[in-house]
Structures are given as structure tokens and as C-alpha cells.
Chains A and B, each alone.
Chain A
């Protein structure tokens, strides 16, 4: 995790944030001149929060997510993950990443796909299988352990991918437009599923989306990003109760407000 400042945090810090971004900038050299993708991003994400990174394409929101995950290194600035570097905090277990597509390995059954996330570590095989089975039950896929990806519907594949990112019991779950390839109905189901699991597991969730409604329905907070170079225009709190529904007037008014900001 090169991009991370490893940090053991005190109890007060833990109460105040899970992720802290300080002055993150990133450029890609695209041909002749460098393209500035992110410019001086500062953001504090509280523990247990669900935070949306909302922006049009080109606003650098996926890049920012990759920087938080450690896949990408920022040119300047710091990523602090609270608790990183402490003994009980094992990096690859602490942060999970869910891709835009389900990215299931076609030659593995559902349960073996979930186990894949544990195979980088050194858990014994039986323990890996036990945890994977349990996580598949959590995403309501009991009975489909031995199914191959091609035998599953889009929604079910998405559940397997979700189980794979949850099986390591992450403190932080990063999601890159995770349900954008599903149909509207299935997407709503997956939103409910994510929120239900969040109630149980209380992991911090950072998700990237270009869908304003999705941001409002899921987020405790939404960071609105503006493009070229990507900056955070405003962080909007959404203190609405759950379950939220697109037809509720409060939800609609937040959607309009955010839409005006993009």
C-alpha cells in the first residue's frame, strides 16, 4: 500500500474519521502534455459512513477511489486510513474493492469465487470455505454455492461479487459504480441489500456514481466533484432516514439540489 500513510489512530481520531485525504493531486501524462485529473482534494470520511463520490465522467472520481484503495499513487498529498499500521489492522483485509463489473472467474463456482478473496492470505482451506459459505448466506445466495457464473443471473452474479468483497470482513468497502450494469429493478434490490448488510457490518462505504438518484438513496454524505481538473465542489450531508424512496419529496429535493451542483 504505497499510497497510504500508515497510521495507528487514537480513539478520538477513530471517532472522527476512517479515511482522511489531504491535498491529493494526480496527473496522467496523456501524449504530450500532462492531464490534471485531480487537484488538491481534501476529504474526511467518518467511520461507518456511506459516502458517495458523485460526478460526471472525467471528474476523476474513479481515480480518487483507486488512490484511496492504494492501486494508484497520488502525485502529491496524503491518504490516511485510520488504524493502518496497527497490529490487528491487516491492510488487504481492511479495504475491499468492488469493481464496476462483477469480474467473477468463469472457471470457479460461486463459493470458490468468494474464496478467491481469501486466497492471498494464509487461512486454512476449511476456514476459507466456512467464511465464504457464511458470506454467501449473508447476500442470500444459500444453495447456489456450487453454481458457475454462467448459470447465474446478473443480480446473482453481483451478489457473489459483493460477497467476495465482504468475505475479508473489511472495515472499508470501496465501490466503483458497482451496480451500474444491472437493470433498474435489480439495482434497487442491490441497494437495499447493501444497506441491510451495512446495518449488520457497519463498514465504511465509499462508492462512485454518476447517478444522482443513487447517490441520494444510498449516501449519508455525497461529495460532488467537478471535472477537469477534478476537485470537490461541495460535500452535501443527506440526513434522511431509511428506507429512502425516490418518490419521497425530501429525496426529490436533494436530487434536484445535487443535480444543480454537477
Chain B
């Protein structure tokens, strides 16, 4: 029997050397970008382009006085709430629109319209409706994330294999079990990529919303630093965001995706 199993199933020993190579490459890349940054900063005033050392100092300052953590926390909280609401609305809506053809046909034009409205416009509406408050940022994140999740989940329902539904029917499976055992696992990869996109977009638009409609958060601090021409602080905030997004992406989302969808044939690894 064992010889029947195809070779690709055998656990691929990810070569240690390959990993080290990759790590070296990444470090070289960071060093090159840092070097260009440092060289460019030498010939221009620091309020136009602060050098790495200056930014590092600014970073230490906001980290020490607690500014960094408080505002990062506030922004993170707002993005998460908006994202959670977006999921709570987007997931069931996407499934219903996908499962019910009439509803799907009827609402079809709404999604592209929602997707094309700029986040800045949502931010302006939010200020009119909610004023300077948490709700403004949450609303903007929600309005950005929700259509993305609906679109992806909707597309996911279209890929549900009719043969699997027939199998479940032959086994006399009740409807709700067909939902949880066939629909949900099929939709999950689509939902996941939609959610990832939505979370990333959410972060970006939250800053826009905070710069104009908030008195706290990273976006607000960014604008403040810009107003005071503290370019080093603008850089420090930006750097923090980049590092945080990269950590979430590579440290949480990517491994989670690899684990959840390990049943997929990985084309690039063959």
C-alpha cells in the first residue's frame, strides 16, 4: 500500500539552508533600504527627511512617555470593532446573497457602488453623523470592510460543489448540517482572504478617519506631528504601524491560513 502513496505526500524537509538564505536576503534588503534612507537624509534638512537616528530617538520618546502604546491601542481597538461588525454583517449577507439567487440578483449592483465610494467620503459622512468620536472611525472601517467581506463570501458560495450537496442529500443530512459541513468549509478560504483584505484596508482608512474625525489614535497623532512639523515623529508613527501590520500578517494571519487550509494542494511547493 505504501508505495501507492504519491511522493509529494512525504513530508518535505524544508531545508535549513534555504531558510537561512531567505533570512539573509531579508536582512540585506532592510540594510539597503536603511542605507539609502540614511544617505538621503544627510543632504536635506531634518524636518524634510529625518535620518534613522533621529527617528529612533523620536520613537523612544513616544514609547517612553506611553503615547505610543495608548494611541496604538485605541486605533487597534477601533479597527477591530469596525472589522468585527463588518464580519457580523458581511458573512451572513454574503451567504444569503449567494444562496438565494433572487436576492443576489437584486442586490448585485449595491456592492460595486459601496466598493467605489472613497473612504474619505465615508469619513466626512461619519463626522457629520457622529462628530468627533470613536464611532466615526469605527463607521469608516465598517463601511470599508463590510463590502469586501460580502464580495468574497458571495464568491465563495458560488464555488460550492453541487456534487457534495448531492452526497449530503443522499445521506439524508438536514439543511443546517449541509450549511455547516459543506457550505462553511467551502466558503472559509474565501472569507479568510476577504477578512485579511478588510483588516488591512481597515487599518489604512482608520488613519484617514482619525486625522479628521478624532482627538486620539495614531491618525490623530500623525496629523498633530505633521502640524508641528515634527517629521521625525511622523516617521516614528509610520514605522510602528508598518512593523505592527507586518507582525500581524506574518506572525498570525499567514500561519493561521497555512494551518486552516493545509488540505489544499500547494501548487508552488511541488
A residues near B, CB below 8 A?
69, 71, 91-92, 97, 99, 101, 103, 105-109, 116-117, 119-120, 140-141, 143-144, 147-153, 155-156
Contact = CB atoms under 8 A, between A and B. Distances in A.
B181 A119 contact: yes
B174 interface: yes
Q: A-B pairs with the 9 shortest C-beta distances?
A: A151-B9, A92-B172, A120-B173, A148-B263, A153-B4, A107-B185, A107-B263, A120-B171, A97-B170
Contacts of B166: 71
A163 to B, nearest CB: 14
Q: Main SS of the interface on chain A?
A: loop
B10 to A, nearest CB: 9
Contacts of A143: 1
Contacts of A108: 263
Contacts, number: 64
A117 B5 contact: no
A101 B174 CA distance: 23
B16 interface: no
Contacts of A106: 263-264
Contacts of B177: 119-120
B173 A99 contact: no
Contacts of B1: 140-141, 143-144, 156
- Category for how many chain B residues contact A: 20 to 34
A140 B166 CA distance: 27
Contacts of B264: 106, 150
Given A109-B263, A150-B265, 16 more contacts: A69-B170, A97-B170, A105-B182, A105-B185, A107-B263, A119-B173, A119-B181, A120-B171, A120-B173, A147-B9, A148-B262, A149-B263, A150-B263, A152-B9, A153-B4, A155-B4
Contacts of A153: 4-6
B163 A101 contact: yes
B164 A103 contact: yes
29 contacts: A69-B170, A71-B166, A92-B171, A103-B163, A103-B167, A105-B164, A105-B185, A106-B263, A106-B264, A107-B185, A107-B261, A107-B263, A116-B167, A116-B171, A116-B181, A117-B171, A119-B173, A119-B177, A120-B174, A141-B1, A147-B5, A148-B262, A148-B263, A150-B263, A151-B5, A151-B9, A152-B5, A152-B9, A156-B1
A105 B181 CA distance: 10
Contacts of B172: 91-92, 120
B188 to A, nearest CB: 8
Given A107-B185, A107-B263, A120-B177, A71 B170 contact: yes
Interface in B152-174: 163-164, 166-174
A156 B6 CA distance: 11
Interface string B103-143: 00000000000000000000000000000000000000000
A92 B177 CA distance: 15
Nearest to B266: A150
A177 to B, nearest CB: 14
A108 B264 CA distance: 10
A119 B168 CA distance: 10
Contacts of A119: 171, 173, 177, 181
Contacts of B261: 107
Contacts of B163: 99, 101, 103
A158 to B, nearest CB: 11
Contacts of A105: 164, 182, 185
Contacts of B164: 103, 105
A148 B170 CA distance: 23
Nearest to B260: A107
A143 B9 CA distance: 14
A151 B170 contact: no
B52 to A, nearest CB: 46
Nearest to A101: B163
A244 B9 CA distance: 35
B221 to A, nearest CB: 44
Contacts of B174: 120
Contacts of A99: 163, 167
A151 B171 contact: no
